């Protein structure tokens, strides 16, 4: 990649802007007003709105460093298409007539698993990415296949008062403080002090062993007001109850996938222990990675071209077809799926000309049963074709018209889809896994 690349993870409390340093390690970008280890505070005027937080953070980045070549924006999984569209609209509006960087909107689970895949620790076939953020607790079930990560299910708990935000509100209320932008920033700064997190965890652990004995012990001071163990414990109960809600919604009777816990609330050792009791020990993040920064760091690796996001099949899919010219059959290639258009577990992608689906028809001289269909792939920039499979599909009456498409299942295997025009059910024909390691492929 020839120019700077940046990742932005807009949050309700903090927006993390990250890049990959010269040593190949992801890190937060130094910007005016950044809280060490947290990122840029999200203005109260944003009200937790991702678009407003993105607008503020990206404007700050451009003032400091200029326009990057590529931006990867982390978006919530529950409304990824809508969030991706809104993020692109925000960045487009900020640039006006100026040239736009390349923009990719990446769902949180793909960003987090990019971090683990880059570290070589994503060795399992199934994971549950549990994002414990200020607004919501969201759990995404993920299946890792050759070259792709499929999100096979999600559950979300987003109470009106927020998830981790409700913890902060309970702590501030217990200290007799209002829940506003100033006091939330004071709370974040108090928790960031040396040894504070360890002191809080030790106090909560002792309290759990002897209920009520340490309730009045002061373990933190925010804006000159004391915070006791009892206040912390009641605030923590809100988090464990919300976490149980999303875990219960994804209990399907199958062996539970290993959980990857990320987000600001995942810093809590008490919350991680609760998660371990329910689903086993969470998968470790790369050494030294703050769980609140995991999504931003994974997205930064994607932005810098260090790892493929694996949210789409990266290559072109095409089929061999024939048409008659001057009474003679001529072999041609029909583009079915442009590079990056196939999503594991997503909808069928049909061959198109502009906005219209391509219509194919059978002929008496060579119907679908008489002529094999060759499925091939090549990289996005037109390298050598790699064969996938040659199929012989069932016969159809002369003149039958149909659309041809490809669907990528959640298990990573592909199907050729033939959908008749008018009446009739689509037929699917297994292709197996699509090749991802193409010799000479260029990103």
Phi first, then psi, for residue 56 (nearest 5°) are -65, -45
Burial 2-19 (b: 16+ CB within 10 A, else e): eebbbbbbbbbbbbbbbb
Six-digit token pair at 283?
Answer: 């998968």
The helix/strand/coil state of 112 is helix
Contact 53, 47 (CB under 8 A): no
Six-digit token pair at 44?
Answer: 């109260």
Closest-CA residue to 75 (of 106, 118, 115, 120): 106
Bridge partners (DSSP) of residue 374 are: 390
The whole-number pLDDT of residue 252 equals 64
Residue 2 scores a pLDDT above 90: no
Find the range with the poorest average confidence among 140-144, 232-236, 399-403: 399-403
Closest-CA residue to 71 (of 27, 114, 104): 104
Of residues 325 and 9, more confidence is placed in: 9
Closest-CA residue to 302 (of 72, 105, 85): 72
Phi first, then psi, for residue 378 (nearest 5°) are -150, 165
Q: What is the pLDDT of residues 166-214, one digit of tens each?
A: 888 999 999 999 988 889 888 888 887 788 878 888 877 777 767 777 7
CA dist 337 and 69 (Å) reads 26
User: Burial level of 355, CB count in 10 A (0-12/13-18/19+)?
Assistant: exposed
First to last CA, the chain: 10
The whole-number pLDDT of residue 293 equals 97
Vertex 14: Cα angle to 275 and 107 (nearest 5):
65
The whole-number pLDDT of residue 288 equals 84
How many residues in the chain? 443
> Alpha-carbon torsion 254, 260, 265, 267, what sign?
positive
Residue 298 scores a pLDDT above 80: yes
The proportion of the chain whose per-residue pLDDT surpasses 70, expressed as a percent, equals 89
- Count other C-beta atoms under 10 Å from residue 28's C-beta: 21
The whole-number pLDDT of residue 62 equals 93
Residue 110 scores a pLDDT above 60: yes
The whole-number pLDDT of residue 47 equals 45
- The DSSP H or E segment spanning 227 is strand 225-228
Contact 8, 74 (CB under 8 A): yes
Residue 364 scores a pLDDT above 60: no
User: Burial level of 302, CB count in 10 A (0-12/13-18/19+)?
Assistant: buried
Region at 330 (left for phi over 0; alpha for psi -120 to 50; beta for the rest): beta
The helix/strand/coil state of 15 is strand
The whole-number pLDDT of residue 219 equals 84
Closest-CA residue to 419 (of 360, 364, 356): 360
Six-digit token pair at 129?
Answer: 């990415």
Closest-CA residue to 278 (of 238, 237, 246): 246
Closest-CA residue to 333 (of 385, 398, 407, 388): 385
Q: What is the pLDDT of residues 39-75, one digit of tens each?
A: 998 876 444 457 889 999 999 999 999 999 999 999 9
């Amino acid at each position: 990649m020839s120019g700077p690349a940046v990742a932005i993870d807009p949050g309700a409390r903090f927006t993390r802007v990250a890049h990959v340093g010269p040593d190949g390690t992801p890190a937060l970008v130094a910007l005016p007003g950044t809280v060490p280890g947290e990122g840029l505070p999200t203005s109260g005027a944003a009200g937790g709105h991702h678009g407003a937080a993105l607008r503020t953070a990206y404007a700050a980045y451009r003032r400091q460093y200029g326009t990057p070549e590529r931006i990867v924006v982390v978006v919530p999984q529950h409304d990824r298409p809508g969030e991706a569209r809104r993020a692109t609209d925000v960045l487009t509006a900020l640039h006006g007539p100026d040239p736009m960087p390349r923009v990719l909107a990446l769902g949180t689970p793909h960003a987090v698993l990019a971090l683990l895949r880059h570290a070589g620790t994503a060795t399992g076939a199934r994971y549950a990415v549990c994002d414990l953020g200020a607004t919501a607790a969201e759990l995404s079930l993920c299946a890792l296949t050759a070259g792709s990560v499929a999100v096979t299910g999600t559950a979300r708990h987003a109470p009106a008062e927020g998830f981790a935000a409700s913890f902060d509100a309970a702590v501030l209320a217990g200290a007799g403080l209002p829940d506003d932008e100033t006091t939330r920033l004071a709370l974040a700064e108090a928790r960031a002090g040396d040894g504070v997190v360890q002191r809080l965890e030790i106090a909560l652990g002792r309290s759990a062993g002897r209920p009520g004995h340490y309730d009045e012990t002061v373990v933190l001071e925010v804006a000159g007001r004391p915070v006791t163990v009892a206040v912390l414990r009641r605030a923590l109960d809100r988090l464990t109850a919300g976490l149980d809600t999303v875990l219960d919604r994804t209990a399907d009777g199958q062996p539970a996938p290993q959980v990857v816990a990320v987000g600001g609330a995942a810093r809590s050792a008490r919350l991680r222990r609760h998660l371990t009791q329910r689903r086993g020990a969470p998968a470790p993040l790369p050494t030294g990675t703050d769980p609140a920064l995991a999504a931003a760091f994974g997205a930064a690796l994607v932005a810098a071209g260090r790892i493929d996001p694996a949210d789409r099949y990266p290559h072109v899919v095409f089929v061999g077809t024939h048409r008659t010219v001057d009474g003679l059959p001529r072999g041609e290639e029909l583009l079915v799926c442009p590079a990056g258009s196939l999503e594991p577990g997503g909808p069928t992608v049909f061959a198109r000309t502009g906005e219209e689906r391509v219509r194919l028809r059978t002929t008496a001289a060579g119907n679908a049963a008489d002529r094999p269909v060759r499925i091939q792939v090549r990289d996005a920039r037109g390298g050598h074709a790699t064969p996938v499979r040659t199929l012989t599909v069932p016969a159809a009456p002369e003149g039958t018209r149909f659309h041809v498409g490809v669907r990528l299942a959640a298990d990573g295997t592909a199907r050729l889809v033939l959908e008749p025009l008018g009446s009739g059910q689509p037929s699917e024909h297994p292709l197996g896994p699509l090749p991802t390691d193409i010799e000479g492929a260029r990103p």
